[in-house]
Structures are given as structure tokens and as C-alpha cells.
């Protein structure tokens, strides 16, 4: 018997058992080879599909993990902390009709989009503390998702995870997401606008007309959203317009010109509110923030990195090291030679996209020095307003860490553990420090640390006031939280009492008093003209309860105007919150 190996070795037309085979026709042999090729192609496609599915699963797991961390920091103990004055102002305005809301908020520096959305949100989810803040939580999670998607589209999955995680644990973004204010929503709109603008310019030439139209509509909506959410959206939109102008001059492409039109259309959407905005900007009232010094810039950057407690030189140097990593990233992404996501692209196109991304990150981060420069004329410098610039900072840090790790791996192939350790150290430093600070923010919320005791004062008032009595908050900072805890809980309606805000002419530091209904304000001139009974509608024999939610060492500042208004003190009650003391005074009118 012939051996299989030897028989095949002597004659390729001999069977496995040594018997001769019939000669194969050329057509049959060709079909056989074609079947092998088709089988190989199908196997390759199947392998590619399995690899793509596995990559999608890993990506989905990473996104879910990052979102879980972000959600935990934003939702934990969300309803424990009391509403502070700004949050209570949001509730107060959103509790009015749309027309009254626009009328009361017309002199505020904030466009009314957030209040309108909050009103609809309250109609669905209620107006408890956690429900009011949940709208900002959703917006904050949206910022994480949009940052992740932008980096994944531009650079790759690893950079996307790291940038998303930095955004998820950022103390500034965590605080904004836990407040019932417009800051988190503004950051979501601004970050979405930057992503879509970059996407349209960098990749729009490869798309169908329908997809380009869809992204263009998204740009218009997101730019309109940022300028309607916060006045600081205007400089953000200006920087975005500058970006598309640079891209149009450089690339001379139709999509760049289309992007410029989309940004302009989004800004023009603010025209109906522009007269109110101009009137507010030119009313001569100083903004509550002082003119920033040059030291405000590094302080802002350091606060992003380590939170409010990072004032030591050690933290400053640590931040500087991480910032240098981010600057190195801007150089790296302009030299990328291949695309790591999507379909293959030419090296030139990839480098062009990297340079576009670097320009976008620089201009997006440029919001801070731009606002600082303007604040030398009219200060509007507040860290909460500058959160739009944090996502580009996080992107740069993530890209720099990955780039340095890969660069070392290429230069030191025998020391594979070094790049891993370096990457872990570069990324872990900002993430751990930020997460620690954010965790402390959550712990403070659990204990209600540092908040004015509006909840406790309202509960105490409910036990002492009588139907027909009047409650006067001695400043607007006290009026809004007290209004929430009296009216939201139904105590004011149950007791049949009225709440007023005492507004002396020199109390313009907190401009929120302009949001209070004129019928709920009591001014010294009105009292001098009409007397206390007529000014507040006090029935004979009823008491006035004078309230402030500030520390007791400031009582003379706040109560002296009412003492001059011929009110006689009957009793004083101190109500302790965790770290603040509210004061209640029962007062009566002097006898004839």
C-alpha cells in the first residue's frame, strides 16, 4: 500500500489510497479555486465582523463605566442639600407663567431658555430639591457623552475614555451638574456645538447631502442653545465663528462656509432677546464679581484640576505638569499619520483633521482669557461661567498622556511595562485628585454643609406664626429660599400668611431682587408714605415676622432698617442649620 505522503509526493493526480484519479477539467479546477477564495473572503468578513462586534462591546462597556462614575457623583445625596439663593430663584421664576417669567427675568443677564425648560421639567417631575437639580444632572451626563464621542471620532477609543473620565470627575462640572442653574446646560450646548462644527468641517466632504444637512441643523440648534442659556454663550459662539472662518480660509471648502452660516444662524436666533441683553449690559449696575487680577487665570485652571482646596505650591506644580502634557498633545495631534477610527483615510486628510482639532481645542479653551480681558472693562468673571472650556482641557490632557505612553513604547520596545506605568501615572494623577475633590462635594451635600438654613427656618415659622401674619425677608438672598420652603411645602397657603422682601435702596449687590414680583417688595419709601399697615396689608392685632438666613454676627446690618421703620421687637429666635444660623424676630407696630 502506498503511503499517503509518498503517493502525493510522486504524482499529484494520485488519490490518498494510491489509486490514480481522473484528470480534472480546467473549469472544474477553476470553480474549486473560486470556492476556496470565496470561503476565505467569507471567513475574513466574519472575522472582521466579530472583531468589530467585540470592539463595540468594549466601547459600550467603557462608556457605561464612565457614565456610571459621572452619575454617581452627580446624583448621590442630590436632595439633601438645601436650595441656595440662585437655585431658589430658578424655582421662583419657573413657578410663574411664561409671560410673567419673561417679564421678571428681562433685567437679568441670563436669557430664559433654562427657566422655560425647567418649567416643563417641573410639570413632569415635580419641584422637590432633587427633581429640580436632575435637569442639570442630565445635561452634565450629556457633556460626558458628547466629549467621549468627539474624541472617539477625532482620535480613538483610548483617548475618548480618558477624556470622558476626566470630564466625569471634574469638580467644576460636578458642582454645576448638582445645581438647579443653567451652567450645566450651557456647557452641553457649547461642547455639542464644537463637536458638530469640527465634524462637519473635518468629515463633511465625505457624506451625503442628507447627513450634512442633519449635522448642520444640529450646529444651528446647539449654538442657539448656548446663547439662549447664558450670556457667556456669546463669546463661545464668537470663538466658534472664528474657528470656521480660519477653516474656510485654510481649506477653501464648501462645508467650512456652510459651517460659518450655521454658527451665524444660531447666534441670530438670539435677536428677540437682544434688546433685553443690551439693556442689562448698559444699565450701569456692577456685576457681583470683582475685576479679576492676572492671578485669577492660574487660580481658575488650578481649581479645575484640584478643586477649591488646591492652593498649595505642590498642587500648583502638579497642575502645571499635567497642563504641559496637554500642550504636548496639541503638537502630537497635528502630526498624526493615520486614522484610528472609521474608514481608512489618507495621511494628509488625517493630519488636516488633527490640526483642525488642535485649533478647535485652543480656541475653545481660549474662552477663559477672552472673558478675563473683557472683565477688565466690565467684570463677568466667574468660574461657573467658564465650564465650557473644561472639555478641551480634558481632551488635551488625555491625548498627551496616551501620546507620551505610545512614544516611549516605540523608543523602548524592550521595556513594555514603562509606557503602561507612565500612562497610568499621568492619567491617574488628575483623575484621582479630581475624584477626591468631587467626592468631598458629595459628602458636603450629604451633611448639608455650609448652606443657609431655609428649611429649618420655614419649619420653625410654621409653629409660631398665626393666620394673617406677615413674614418679611430682610434681603433677597433670604427671600428666595424662604419662599421655596414656605410655598413649595404648602405652609404659606395652610397658614394664610404673606411673604415680602425688604428692599432698601443700598441692597443692589445681589441683583436677583429684580426677579421678585413688585407686589412682594417692601421699600422704605413706600413704608414712609403709607405706613407699615397699608404697605404690607397687615390687619390689626397681627404680627410681623422678620427673617434672615445669614449668620447672627450680621444681624445689625440687616435688621437696622426695619428698626428705623418703627417696628418694635417682641422676641428673637435663632434657628441653627448645620453651619449657619437663621434669625426670626417677632415685631409689632408701636402703639398710638
Residue 40 pLDDT class (50, 70, 90 cuts): low
Residue 569 pLDDT class (50, 70, 90 cuts): confident
> What are the C-alpha distances in Å from 145 to residues 191, 388, 391, 522?
10, 15, 11, 47
Give the pLDDT confidence of 514-551 residue by residue, as tens digits. 899 999 999 888 888 888 889 999 888 899 999 988 76
Partner residues linked to 521 by β-bridges: 501
Give the pLDDT confidence of 359-376 residue by residue, as tens digits. 999 899 899 999 999 898
pLDDT of residue 79: 92
pLDDT of residue 390: 92
Number of other CB atoms surrounding residue 120 within 10 Å? 11
Q: CA 559, CA 294: separation in Å to the nearest integer? A: 38
Number of other CB atoms surrounding residue 257 within 10 Å? 16
Give the pLDDT confidence of 295-348 residue by residue, as tens digits. 888 778 777 766 655 555 555 566 666 666 666 666 666 555 444 433 443 455
pLDDT of residue 568: 81
Lowest mean per-residue pLDDT among 22-31, 241-250, 259-268, 348-357: 22-31
219 and 193 Cβ atoms separated by less than 8 Å: yes
Closest by CA position to 372, among listed 285, 292, 281, 288 = 292
Residue 132 pLDDT class (50, 70, 90 cuts): very high
User: Does the pLDDT value for residue 198 go beyond 80?
Assistant: yes
User: Does the pLDDT value for residue 194 go beyond 80?
Assistant: yes
pLDDT of residue 425: 67
pLDDT of residue 553: 56
Q: 568-576 and 521-522 as β-strands: parallel, antiparallel, unpaired? A: unpaired
- Considering the chain, what percentage of its residues have pLDDT values greater than 70? 74
Q: If you average pLDDT over residues 148-166, what whole number do you get?
A: 90
pLDDT of residue 377: 86
DSSP codes, 156-194: -HHHHHHHHHHHHH-HHHHHHHTSSSSHHHHHHHHHHHH
Q: CA 262, CA 141: separation in Å to the nearest integer? A: 25
Return the sign of the alpha-carbon dihedral for residues 366, 367, 372, 373: positive
pLDDT of residue 495: 83
Residue 359: how many CA atoms within 13 Å on its side-chain side? 21
User: Does the pLDDT value for residue 395 go beyond 60?
Assistant: yes
Residue 257 pLDDT class (50, 70, 90 cuts): very high
pLDDT of residue 574: 84
- What single DSSP character describes residue 487? I
Residue 53: exposure state from Cβ atoms within 10 A (0-12, 13-18, ≥19):
exposed
Q: CA 255, CA 351: separation in Å to the nearest integer? A: 18
Residue 251 pLDDT class (50, 70, 90 cuts): confident
User: Does the pLDDT value for residue 4 go beyond 50?
Assistant: no
Q: CA 184, CA 138: separation in Å to the nearest integer? A: 9
180 and 118 Cβ atoms separated by less than 8 Å: yes
Closest by CA position to 258, among listed 214, 192, 225 = 214
Helix (H, G, I), strand (E, B) or coil at 504: coil
Q: Which of 56-60, 87-91, 445-449 has the highest mean pLDDT?
A: 87-91
User: Does the pLDDT value for residue 233 go beyond 90?
Assistant: yes
pTM of the model: 0.85
pLDDT of residue 322: 66
User: Mean pLDDT, the chain, as a whole number?
Assistant: 81
Q: Who has greater pLDDT, 467 or 512?
A: 467
Q: Who has greater pLDDT, 267 or 400?
A: 267
User: Does the pLDDT value for residue 561 go beyond 90?
Assistant: no
Amino acid at each position: 500500500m502506498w503511503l499517503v505522503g509518498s503517493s502525493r509526493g510522486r504524482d499529484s493526480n494520485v488519490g490518498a489510497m494510491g489509486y490514480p484519479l481522473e484528470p480534472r477539467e480546467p473549469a472544474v479546477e477553476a470553480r474549486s479555486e473560486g470556492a476556496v477564495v470565496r470561503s476565505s473572503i467569507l471567513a475574513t468578513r466574519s472575522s472582521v465582523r466579530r472583531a468589530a462586534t467585540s470592539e463595540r462591546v468594549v466601547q459600550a462597556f467603557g462608556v457605561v463605566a464612565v457614565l456610571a462614575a459621572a452619575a454617581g457623583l452627580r446624583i448621590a445625596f442630590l436632595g439633601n442639600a438645601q436650595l441656595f439663593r440662585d437655585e431658589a430663584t430658578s424655582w421662583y421664576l419657573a413657578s410663574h407663567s411664561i409671560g410673567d417669567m419673561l417679564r421678571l427675568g428681562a433685567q437679568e443677564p441670563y436669557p430664559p431658555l433654562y427657566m422655560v425648560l425647567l418649567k416643563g421639567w417641573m410639570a413632569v417631575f415635580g419641584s422637590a430639591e432633587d427633581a429640580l437639580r436632575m435637569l442639570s444632572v442630565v445635561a452634565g451626563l450629556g457633556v460626558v457623552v458628547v466629549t467621549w464621542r468627539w474624541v472617539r471620532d477625532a482620535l480613538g477609543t483610548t483617548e475618548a475614555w480618558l477624556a470622558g473620565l476626566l470630564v466625569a470627575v471634574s469638580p467644576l462640572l460636578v458642582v454645576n451638574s448638582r445645581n438647579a442653574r443653567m451652567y450645566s446646560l450651557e456647557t452641553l450646548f457649547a461642547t455639542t456645538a464644537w463637536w458638530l462644527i469640527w465634524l462637519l468641517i473635518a468629515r463633511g466632504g465625505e457624506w451625503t447631502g442628507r447627513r450634512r444637512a442633519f449635522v448642520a441643523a444640529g450646529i444651528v440648534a446647539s449654538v442657539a442653545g448656548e446663547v439662549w442659556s447664558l450670556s457667556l454663550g456669546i463669546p463661545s459662539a464668537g470663538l466658534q465663528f472664528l474657528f470656521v472662518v480660519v477653516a474656510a480660509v485654510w481649506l477653501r471648502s464648501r462645508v467650512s462656509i456652510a459651517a460659518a452660516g450655521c454658527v451665524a444662524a444660531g447666534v441670530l436666533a438670539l435677536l428677540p432677546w437682544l434688546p433685553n441683553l443690551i439693556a442689562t449690559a448698559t444699565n450701569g449696575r456692577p456685576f457681583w464679581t470683582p475685576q479679576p487680577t492676572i492671578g485669577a487665570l492660574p487660580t481658575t485652571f488650578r481649581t479645575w484640576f484640584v478643586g477649591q482646596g488646591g492652593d498649595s505650591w505642590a498642587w500648583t506644580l502638579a497642575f502645571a505638569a499635567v497642563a504641559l502634557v496637554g500642550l504636548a498633545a496639541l503638537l502630537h495631534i497635528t502630526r498624526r499619520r493615520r486614522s484610528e477610527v472609521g474608514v481608512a483615510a489618507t495621511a494628509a486628510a488625517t493630519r488636516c483633521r488633527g490640526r483642525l482639532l488642535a485649533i478647535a481645542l485652543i480656541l475653545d479653551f481660549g474662552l477663559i482669557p477672552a472673558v478675563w480681558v473683557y472683565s477688565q472693562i466690565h467684570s463677568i468673571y466667574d468660574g461657573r461661567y467658564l465650564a465650557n472650556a473644561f472639555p478641551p482641557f480634558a481632551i488635551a490632557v488625555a491625548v498627551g498622556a496616551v501620546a507620551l505612553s505610545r512614544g516611549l513604547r516605540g523608543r523602548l520596545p524592550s521595556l513594555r511595562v514603562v509606557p503602561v506605568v507612565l500612562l497610568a501615572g499621568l492619567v491617574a494623577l488628575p483623575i484621582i485628585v479630581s475624584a477626591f475633590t468631587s467626592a468631598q462635594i458629595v459628602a458636603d451635600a450629604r451633611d448639608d454643609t455650609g448652606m443657609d438654613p431655609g428649611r429649618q427656618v420655614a419649619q420653625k415659622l410654621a409653629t409660631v406664626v398665626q393666620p394673617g401674619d406677615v413674614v418679611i425677608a430682610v434681603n433677597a438672598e433670604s427671600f428666595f429660599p424662604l419662599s421655596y420652603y414656605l410655598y413649595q411645602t404648602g405652609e404659606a397657603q395652610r397658614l394664610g400668611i404673606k411673604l415680602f422682601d425688604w428692599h432698601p435702596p443700598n441692597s443692589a449687590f445681589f441683583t436677583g431682587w429684580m426677579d421678585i414680583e413688585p407686589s412682594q417688595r417692601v421699600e422704605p419709601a413706600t413704608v414712609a408714605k403709607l405706613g407699615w399697615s397699608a404697605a404690607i396689608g397687615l390687619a390689626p392685632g397681627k404680627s410681623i415676622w422678620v427673617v434672615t438666613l445669614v449668620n447672627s454676627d450680621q444681624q445689625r446690618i440687616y435688621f437696622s432698617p426695619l428698626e428705623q421703620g418703627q417696628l418694635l421687637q417682641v422676641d428673637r429666635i435663632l434657628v441653627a442649620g448645620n453651619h449657619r444660623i437663621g434669625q426670626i424676630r417677632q415685631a409689632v407696630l408701636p402703639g398710638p
